[in-house]
Amino acid sequence: MSFNVELVGKIGSMALIDTARGEPDDALLYRLAGELRPGMVWVTSGATEIGRLDYIKRSGRELTLQDGDPDEIKTDYASQGQTILMQKYRQYVSPLYSIRQVLVEHQHFNDPAKREHIKALLIRAARQNAVPIINYNDAVSFEETRKMEIQSLREKGAQAVELVDNDETAGQIACLVGAKTLVILTSADGIYRDPDDPKSLIEKITGASDAEILAAIGRAQASCRGASRAGAAGARAKLEYVKAPALQGTEVVIANAKYPLQDILNGAVRRTVVKREAGG
């Protein structure tokens, strides 16, 4: 297939946080954002956790159920953290490039006209010397309405994208724009046969046909368990969300955010690659 975008990348919330200091990891953000350039589309988590940490820093406490229900608290944190997150990217992405914030929701991917509108925006960005920075719009979308809308679509027999995690968002974006490469950055080096054994990294998950690559992904999923934080979907879900990009011919790379992006792409560091083999 022909590719419209060089790379779609995604970084997870906990990979962006310096847990010892309870603040965004500026050294990581500086290095990562400095590697972004036009032709790349970047999906970033982190707004909710950064907003939570910033609220604690300014108020001396966390929000509790006395302040609102869990969806309302997530909304409040996300809206506070989003401004900080984008400020960091604007500070560290090369001043030669524009950056463009794109906040998406599940409904945008379940409406053909909205999908095409977002696709055109993202593809134009490369020609206009801009890097799109995408996040799920947690500040205005909450679980109850999302599930109702998804159920309504499914009752009509339609396939529905839920976007419960930014891994799914990144996978859908990669499919939407026809990305050559999809990079998922996390706090692990990739996918493991035994999550407790760092020597068991699965370096390649490949197949020469749709059936073979789906079977290979399924075998890797059987080894997965747990997640990096409450509410995260974990390695099993990451592999589920990269099925569609892999089937369309996108090379998927799952790697540790501690490594430079170029080293990850060049294969100079430990990583897991999911792709269709030549001739498939």
Where would I find the beta strands (DSSP E) of 118-269?
Answer: 130-136, 179-186, 191-192, 201-202, 204-207, 251-256
d(CA 47, CA 62): 15
CA–CA dist 6, 178 (Å, integer) = 9
Q: Hey, which residues does 40 pair with through a beta bridge? A: 7
Half-sphere exposure of 228 (CA within 13 A, CB side): 20
Beta-bridge mates of residue 204: 273
pLDDT in tens, 81-112: 999 999 999 999 999 999 999 998 877 777 88
What pLDDT does 137 receive? 79
User: Was domain 5-187+246-259 assigned CATH 3.40.1160.10?
Assistant: yes
Here the tokens at position 64 are 């509790």
Whether 109 contacts 161, CB under 8 Å: yes
Q: Is pLDDT above 90 for 69?
A: no
Q: Where are the domains of the chain?
A: 5-187+246-259
Q: Where are the beta strands (DSSP E) in the chain?
A: 5-11, 17-18, 23-24, 40-44, 98-104, 130-136, 179-186, 191-192, 201-202, 204-207, 251-256, 271-276
| Chain segment 233-259, per-residue pLDDT in tens | 578 889 999 999 999 999 999 999 999
| pLDDT for the residue 142 | 57
pLDDT, position 63: 96
For 163-214, the pLDDT digits (tens) are: 567 898 999 999 999 999 999 999 899 999 888 898 999 999 999 999 999 9
Token couple for 7 = 């790379």
How far apart are alpha carbons 193 and 207 in whole angstroms?
18
**How far apart are alpha carbons 213 and 216 in whole angstroms?**
5
